Chain A
Amino acid sequence: MSQGFPQMPSDKPSLLRDTRQGQARLCWKNLMEALFFCVTMTLLAKWSTNLPAWGDVIASENGPIEMMSAGVWFVAMVWCLTASLSHPPHRIEWLGLTALCLLFGLRELDAHVWATGWNLDKSANYWNPRFPLWERLLVIGGMIIPVMVIGIVLCFRIWARLTVDWNSRAPWIGQLTVGGILLVFCVVLDKVHGYYLPFLGLEEAQLFFMGLEEFGEYVLGIYTVSVLWPYWQATLPFHQTDS
Chain B
Amino acid sequence: MKYALDWIRSWPAWMLLISVGVTVGLPRVPYYQEGLPYIYDLGGMALVTWYIGLGFLILGLYFIVMGCVSAGWFLSRRLHAVLFGGVALILGGSCHWLYLILLEMSVRVT
CB distance from B83 to the nearest CB of A (A): 10
- A8 at interface (Cβ–Cβ under 8 A)? yes
Whole-angstrom CA separation of A225 from B13 in the bound complex? 12
Taking a contact as CB atoms closer than 8 A, the residue among B10, B18, B43, B71 that contacts A72 in the complex is B18
**A37-B12, A225-B11, A237-B80 in contact; A68/B23 too (CB < 8 A)?**
yes
Contact check, A238 vs B15: say whether CB atoms are below 8 A apart. no
Number of residues from A at the complex interface, CB < 8 A: 45
- A105 at interface (Cβ–Cβ under 8 A)? yes
Taking a contact as CB atoms closer than 8 A, the residue among B38, B67, B70 that contacts A62 in the complex is B38
Contact check, B12 vs A75: say whether CB atoms are below 8 A apart. no
Residue of A nearest to B2 (CB): A2
Contact check, A75 vs B41: say whether CB atoms are below 8 A apart. no
Contact check, A71 vs B38: say whether CB atoms are below 8 A apart. no
- A242 at interface (Cβ–Cβ under 8 A)? yes
Contact check, A75 vs B55: say whether CB atoms are below 8 A apart. yes
Whole-angstrom CA separation of A225 from B56 in the bound complex? 16
Contact check, A222 vs B10: say whether CB atoms are below 8 A apart. no
Contact check, B58 vs A75: say whether CB atoms are below 8 A apart. yes
Residue of B nearest to A86 (CB): B84
Residue of B nearest to A73 (CB): B51
Contact check, A68 vs B48: say whether CB atoms are below 8 A apart. no
Whole-angstrom CA separation of A216 from B28 in the bound complex? 27
Q: Point out residues on B near A: beta carbons under 8 Å.
A: 2-3, 6-7, 9-16, 18-19, 21-24, 26, 38-41, 43-44, 47-48, 51-52, 54-56, 58-59, 63, 66-67, 70-71, 78, 80-81, 84, 88
- What are some 19 contacts across the A-B interface (CB < 8 A)? A7-B6, A44-B19, A45-B19, A45-B23, A67-B23, A71-B21, A71-B22, A71-B54, A72-B18, A75-B59, A78-B88, A105-B51, A114-B40, A114-B44, A226-B11, A236-B81, A237-B80, A238-B80, A238-B81
